[in-house]
């Protein structure tokens, strides 16, 4: 029986794809350990039942979970950096004084969201035990520090870039969630033979049971819906501009979710007289998503422009939208636009281009609603071929066993 170690700062009961990797591999008969942290995302405080002296070692769905201490992230800023560094230091202690002596693995899998530092303990263990490391890159650092954290200190960015190169150099394979990530990684070194495309996946929304519960009142007519986080990365300023440009059209807007920009969005809707055409309904459980998606004429995915990292990334919600069989509209970079074009599941314009988006709606979508509706079925077909959890975990097993 092969034994794998998953290294990630984020794990169940937090909601990340690292959970699927660990639990699915265990379900398939592999022995899986996970070196993770004390759960506190996104609230910024430890989950109930967890703490410095609570549930530091446990077994979940057949996975042996070891939780390194970290300082809770709080509301961000300095606390967030302390969170990153505390996990780094304590997870290295786990490697040096436990894993290096007590455990032996066939492979180490790094679920590399932000920060890149969580790959360091995995590579230290690799050097101690000659175990191959597979790093799944979901964020490009230090680019993500600039786009997400607003960090501009050139000295700090240069130091982190050296860490990134060291991580890539010492990873046996670099799995990239967007094909466009290759353009950002290859200038850092001769990593071409290490790169493998390994996309994100989504639960199949169509397989979720319908709760058949009453939904909040939604606008009538053609409805463009965003479902998920409503934060800075979603570029809601640009969405608001498009709402204003389409104010006189039969276009209505539904925002399902929560985030740092939700209150601002609600104020914009009120201040600009859009309360009859746009509604923020707040956060709902995943079990409601199918019922919400059925009400949408189009699902909208957006990202900020102006950052190479965000230009290349494929937003995770895109796969979820495609699974629902609803056509997709997007204001994003080429990473997501490539998939929309390849699947023919909708239309995209560059990030930040609200005028092009409004023109697309007026000139292409609204006059051809029946043709646009057919693109939803194409998106679902593409999802079933490429983005199901089963397909992607099959691919991961093949990569590791190759």
| Per-residue pLDDT at 276 | 87
Residue 18, CA atoms < 13 Å, CB-side half-sphere? 34
Fold of 205-386: Rossmann fold (3.40.50)
Whole-prediction pTM value?
A: 0.90
Q: Which residue has the tokens 């405080």?
A: 45
| Per-residue pLDDT at 213 | 67
| Per-residue pLDDT at 86 | 95
| Domain span(s) for CATH 3.40.50.2000 in the chain | 3-201+389-401, 205-386
| Per-residue pLDDT at 401 | 87
Q: Hey, how many other C-beta atoms are within 10 angstroms of the C-beta on 38?
A: 22
| Per-residue pLDDT at 148 | 64
Please state which of the four CATH numbers 3.30.390.10, 3.40.50.2000, 3.20.20.80, 3.40.640.10 is assigned to the domain occupying 3-201+389-401: 3.40.50.2000
Q: Could you tell me which of 220, 261, 268 has the C-alpha nearest to residue 244?
A: 268
CA-to-CA distance for 253 and 280, rounded, in angstroms?
A: 9
Q: List the beta strands (DSSP E) in 25-93.
A: 31-37, 57-60, 63-68
| Per-residue pLDDT at 147 | 66
| Per-residue pLDDT at 304 | 86
Q: Virtual CA dihedral for 210, 373, 342, 253, nearest 10 degrees?
A: -70
First CA to last CA across the chain, in angstroms?
Answer: 15
| Per-residue pLDDT at 215 | 79
- Average pLDDT for consecutive 10-residue bins of the chain (402 residues)? 95 94 96 96 89 92 96 81 94 95 95 94 96 95 74 84 96 96 95 96 85 77 91 89 92 89 90 89 84 92 86 91 95 94 96 94 94 96 96 95 84
CA-to-CA distance for 319 and 255, rounded, in angstroms?
A: 18
């Amino acid at each position: 029986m092969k034994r794998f170690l998953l290294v990630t700062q984020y794990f169940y009961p937090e909601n990340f794809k690292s959970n699927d990797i660990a639990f699915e591999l265990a379900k398939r008969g592999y022995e899986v350990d996970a070196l993770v942290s004390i759960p506190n995302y996104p609230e910024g405080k430890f989950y109930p039942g967890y703490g410095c002296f609570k549930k530091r070692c446990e077994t979940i769905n057949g996975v042996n979970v070891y939780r390194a201490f970290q300082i809770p992230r709080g509301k961000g800023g300095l606390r967030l950096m302390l969170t990153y560094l505390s996990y780094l230091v304590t997870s290295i202690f786990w490697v040096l004084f436990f894993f290096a002596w007590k455990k032996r693995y066939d492979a180490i899998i790094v679920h590399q969201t932000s920060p890149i530092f969580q790959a360091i303990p995995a590579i230290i263990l690799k050097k101690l035990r000659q175990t191959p490391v597979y790093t799944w890159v979901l964020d490009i650092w230090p680019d993500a520090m600039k786009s997400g954290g607003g960090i501009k200190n050139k000295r700090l960015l240069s130091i982190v870039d050296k860490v990134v190169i060291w991580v890539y150099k010492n990873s046996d394979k670099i799995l990239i969630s967007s094909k466009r990530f290759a353009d950002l990684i290859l200038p850092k070194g001769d990593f071409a033979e290490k790169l493998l495309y390994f996309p994100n996946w989504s639960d199949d929304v169509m397989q979720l049971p319908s709760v058949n519960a009453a939904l909040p009142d939604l606008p009538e007519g053609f409805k463009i819906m965003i479902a998920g986080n409503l934060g800075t990365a979603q570029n809601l300023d640009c969405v608001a501009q498009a709402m204003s440009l389409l104010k006189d059209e039969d276009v209505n807007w539904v925002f399902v979710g929560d985030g740092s920009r939700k209150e601002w969005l609600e104020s914009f809707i009120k201040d600009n007289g859009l309360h009859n055409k746009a509604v923020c309904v707040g956060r709902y459980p995943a079990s409601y998503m199918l019922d919400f998606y059925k009400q949408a004429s189009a699902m909208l995915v957006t990202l900020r422009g102006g950052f190479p990292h965000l230009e290349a990334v494929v937003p995770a919600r895109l796969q979820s939208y495609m699974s629902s069989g609803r056509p997709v509209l997007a204001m994003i970079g080429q990473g997501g636009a490539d998939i929309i074009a390849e699947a023919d599941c909708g239309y995209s314009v560059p990030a930040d281009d609200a005028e092009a988006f409004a023109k697309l709606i007026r000139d292409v979508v609204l006059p051809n609603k029946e043709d646009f509706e057919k693109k939803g079925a194409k998106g679902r077909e593409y999802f079933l071929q490429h983005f199901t959890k089963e397909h992607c975990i099959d691919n991961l097993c093949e990569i590791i066993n190759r």
